[in-house]
């Protein structure tokens, strides 16, 4: 027998397993690699990248406290969905709204949990494209991999991760523990080396400049020539007979001109290039930019709440889950990300600018090549990058796996309560996993991943016509690229899907703050700071970030197309949810408001 609704989950997870599952979703390795590119292409706001993470971190810490406090009262499977039901049912006056509140929270959470894994599988496609292009540049460009190839990887990866999740959470936890240790060590090492590179290369010293075509760094200036591209005169780099290696500019004696590094803040057009000082990295520059960056940066911090969906598998849920929520966010968010992002931003220089980052599929990988060459010797940076990329590969497995586990369990909880199709509320009799929800999520993730890749270099990240013409020609390497102007006119689909997922995150986190306020209202364990001040701050912060989706583009902050499209996705999902709720309630003969109070938990 493959499934049975009577089967229950087993309590097998301790504090270590719970914390590692939450940390796997935050994954500093995967998100430093992924989100740096997205943040670099978010209009003119890139200088405020680091401080944007601070704003997101403050918001997440407030929300994490709410989740931790709710987990103390109502440990169980379903996370915010379960918390919403219990907090309203146990409230003296609001109990009638228990069913409505849990549906709204559960439906809203799917905007996050069903899109987020798709962004991750798209990232895996981009990562694999970058690595293939690095190893075989004549087959594929590392900076601009082929869309068809990236889509194929995204589809395969989605179903492979679903298979691991289907096998059971214990196996998933063991994988997550190993991945967390490896990725934190590797990314901290990169951050240290990036800082060392900046400190050991003062302005005017001989250093490396990165070349996106060959995927290598060189200590000489590149020879250029003027050519005609689409009827316009363009200065291009002279390369070898294979069209890969850039040729050096020679001095009067016929020797290569050494490349001397500098740290310019902007170019002649006012476009941001690098941070002249460490203070510039941590400065807001423009508070509007900060909030735009925060709407993207939330992607790197979400995941701490995932462990609250595993209450049914925790040995001591009331004690361990609140600890796991806070610890996972503090360790990876406050320590790893702030350090790593500071190092990556401080590294930027004339040899690899923010504009270089916005035009690359993997700017962190490019930086690793440069620092690797400086540390290990010319040509060895690629080996260092490949070793680091392997840890990112593992991190992507962990974060996608953790999100699928969490999202599937929320869907399972709704199916069990008949707020979603009933077949989602079934567990596999042998693996004790919500297998139908997992495989459904795998299919959705594959579709979302492909959509995210269609115009991954759209808008600000559009490659030049010269770059597009120089791509290796073939179905896997160049099909899908259009002209620069047409590509620039299209929305960046990866950023669009990221913002759609993030909007669901802000909505879910804001609702969770409201749930915390309701749960502890007139409760004997009420504490002013933890149960009123912090939840109110979290609610206001989440609402402010959601407002910037609409306000920011019209104030000239960031890009316009992507946040408005993300709002459109959220609106369609909300309207569909309302129609679904009304129709299924009518068919089942269920009322929107509860008519008789039943206390399910205390």
* CATH code assigned at 385: 1.20.1740.10
3-class SS at 100?
helix
Task: State both tokens at 97.
Answer: 């709204």
Please tell me the least confidently modeled range out of 86-100, 317-331, 441-455, 576-590: 317-331
CA 98 – CA 593 distance, rounded (Å): 7
User: 382 with 142: CB under 8 angstroms?
Assistant: no
Question: Could you tell me if residue 246 is inside a domain?
Answer: no
CA 81 – CA 204 distance, rounded (Å): 58
Q: What global pTM score does this model have?
A: 0.84
Please tell me the least confidently modeled range out of 1-10, 426-435, 470-479, 514-523: 1-10
Q: Which whole number is the average pLDDT over 289-312?
A: 82
The residues, any chain, with a CB within 8 Å of residue 21's CB and separated by 6 or more, are 13, 169, 172, 173, 176, 306, 307, 310, 324, 402, 405
The residues, any chain, with a CB within 8 Å of residue 501's CB and separated by 6 or more, are 111, 112, 115, 116, 118, 119, 299
Query: Count of CB atoms within 10 A of residue 94's CB?
Result: 14
pLDDT over threshold 60, residue 5: no
Question: Could you tell me if residue 219 is inside a domain?
Answer: no
| 476 compared with 426, residue with greater pLDDT | 476
The dihedrals phi and psi of 236, each to the nearest 5 degrees, come to -120, 160
pLDDT over threshold 70, residue 602: no
Q: Which whole number is the average pLDDT over 259-288?
A: 94
pLDDT at residue 526, rounded to an integer: 93
Q: Which whole number is the average pLDDT over 53-81?
A: 86
CA-based angle 181:186:187, to the nearest 5? Answer: 105
Residue in the block written with tokens 């949810």:
577
Average pLDDT, the chain: 86
pLDDT over threshold 50, residue 1: no
| 309 compared with 317, residue with greater pLDDT | 317
Task: State both tokens at 475.
Answer: 């179905």
pLDDT at residue 18, rounded to an integer: 79
DSSP H or E run through 209: strand 209-211
| 183 compared with 363, residue with greater pLDDT | 363
Q: Which whole number is the average pLDDT over 7-30?
A: 68
Task: State both tokens at 468.
Answer: 């597009």
Question: Could you tell me if residue 256 is inside a domain?
Answer: no
Residue in the block written with tokens 């960046």:
492
Q: Given pLDDT bands bounded at 50, 70 and 90, which one contains residue 336?
A: confident
- Split into its structural domains, the chain has a count of 1
Residue 538 is given by DSSP the state H
Residue in the block written with tokens 């009304």:
582
Identify which of 508, 586, 594, 568 has the alpha carbon closest to the alpha carbon of residue 305: 508
Q: Which whole number is the average pLDDT over 49-63?
A: 93
Sign for the pseudo-dihedral over CA of 189, 191, 194, 199: negative
Task: State both tokens at 302.
Answer: 């979400």
Residue in the block written with tokens 């070898």:
240
CA 392 – CA 389 distance, rounded (Å): 5
Question: Could you tell me if residue 336 is inside a domain?
Answer: yes
Question: Could you tell me if residue 475 is inside a domain?
Answer: yes
Q: Which whole number is the average pLDDT over 335-349?
A: 93
pLDDT at residue 579, rounded to an integer: 94
Exposed/middle/buried for residue 579 (C-beta within 10 Å: 0-12, 13-18, 19+): exposed
User: 71 with 318: CB under 8 angstroms?
Assistant: yes
Question: Could you tell me if residue 10 is inside a domain?
Answer: yes
pLDDT over threshold 80, residue 76: no
Residue 427 φ/ψ region, left for φ over 0, alpha for ψ in the -120 to 50 degree band, beta for the rest: beta
User: 310 with 18: CB under 8 angstroms?
Assistant: yes
| 103 compared with 430, residue with greater pLDDT | 103
Question: Could you tell me if residue 26 is inside a domain?
Answer: yes
Q: Which whole number is the average pLDDT over 22-32?
A: 69
CA 423 – CA 433 distance, rounded (Å): 13
pLDDT over threshold 70, residue 8: no
3-class SS at 287?
helix
Task: State both tokens at 462.
Answer: 């559009």
CA 245 – CA 467 distance, rounded (Å): 14
pLDDT at residue 517, rounded to an integer: 95
User: Domain range holding 303?
Assistant: 3-206+267-588
3-class SS at 88?
helix
User: 335 with 185: CB under 8 angstroms?
Assistant: no
Please tell me the least confidently modeled range out of 177-191, 381-395, 422-436: 422-436
3-class SS at 399?
helix
User: 164 with 171: CB under 8 angstroms?
Assistant: yes
| 588 compared with 533, residue with greater pLDDT | 533
């Amino acid at each position: 027998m493959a499934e049975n609704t009577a089967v229950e989950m087993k309590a097998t997870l301790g504090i270590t397993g719970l914390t590692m599952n939450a940390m796997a979703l935050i994954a500093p390795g995967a998100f430093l690699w992924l989100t740096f590119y997205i943040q670099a292409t978010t209009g003119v706001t890139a200088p405020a990248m680091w401080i944007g993470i601070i704003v997101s971190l403050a918001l997440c810490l407030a929300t994490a406290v709410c989740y931790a406090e709710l987990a103390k009262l109502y440990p169980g499977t379903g996370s915010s969905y379960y918390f919403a039901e219990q907090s309203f049912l146990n409230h003296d006056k609001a109990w009638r709204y228990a069913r409505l509140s849990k549906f709204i929270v559960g439906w809203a959470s799917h905007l996050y949990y069903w899109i987020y894994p798709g962004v991750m599988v798209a990232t895996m496609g981009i990562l694999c494209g970058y690595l293939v292009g690095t190893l075989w540049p004549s087959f594929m460009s590392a900076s601009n991999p082929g869309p068809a190839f990236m889509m194929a990887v995204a589809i395969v990866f989605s179903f492979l991760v679903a298979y691991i999740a289907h096998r059971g959470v214990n196996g998933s936890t063991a994988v997550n523990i190993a991945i967390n240790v490896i990725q934190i060590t590797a990314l901290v090492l990169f951050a240290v080396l990036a800082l060392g590179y900046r400190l050991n290369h003062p302005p005017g010293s001989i250093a490396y400049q990165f070349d996106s075509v060959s995927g290598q760094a060189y200590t000489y200036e590149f020879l250029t020539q003027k050519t005609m591209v689409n009827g316009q005169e363009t200065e291009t780099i002279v390369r070898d007979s294979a069209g890969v290696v850039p040729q050096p500019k020679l001095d009067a004696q016929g020797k290569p001109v050494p490349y001397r590094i500098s740290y310019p803040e902007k170019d002649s057009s006012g476009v941001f290039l690098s941070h002249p000082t460490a203070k510039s990295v941590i400065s807001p520059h423009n508070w509007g930019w900060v909030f735009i960056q925060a709407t993207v940066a939330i992607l790197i911090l979400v995941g701490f709440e995932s462990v609250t969906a595993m209450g049914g598998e925790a040995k001591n849920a009331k004690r361990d889950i609140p600890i796991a929520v806070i610890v996972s966010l503090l360790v990876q968010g406050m320590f790893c990300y702030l350090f790593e992002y500071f190092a990556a931003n401080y590294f930027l220089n004339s040899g690899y600018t923010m504009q270089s980052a916005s035009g690359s599929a993997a700017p962190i990988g490019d930086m690793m090549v440069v620092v690797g060459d400086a540390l290990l010797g010319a040509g060895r940076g690629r080996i260092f990058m490949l070793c680091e990329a392997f840890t990112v590969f593992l991190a992507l497995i962990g974060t996608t796996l953790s999100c699928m586990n969490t999202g599937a369990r929320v869907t399972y909880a709704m199916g069990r309560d008949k707020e979603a199709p009933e077949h989602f509320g079934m567990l596999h009799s042998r693996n004790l996993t919500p297998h139908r929800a997992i495989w459904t999520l795998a299919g959705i993730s594959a579709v979302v991943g492909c959509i995210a890749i269609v115009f991954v270099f759209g808008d600000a990240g559009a490659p030049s016509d010269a770059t597009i013409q120089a791509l290796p020609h073939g179905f896997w390497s160049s099909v899908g690229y259009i002209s620069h102007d047409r590509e620039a006119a299209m929305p960046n689909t990866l950023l669009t899907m990221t913002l759609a997922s993030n909007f669901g995150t802000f909505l879910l986190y804001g609702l969770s703050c409201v749930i915390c306020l309701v749960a502890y209202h007139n409760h004997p364990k009420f504490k002013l700071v933890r149960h009123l001040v912090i939840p109110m701050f979290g609610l206001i912060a989440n609402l402010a970030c959601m407002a910037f989706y609409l306000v920011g583009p019209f104030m000239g902050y960031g890009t316009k197309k992507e946040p408005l499209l993300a709002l459109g996705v959220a609106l369609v999902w909300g309207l569909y949810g309302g129609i679904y709720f009304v129709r299924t309630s009518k068919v089942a003969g269920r009322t929107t408001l509860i008519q008789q109070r039943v206390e399910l938990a205390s």
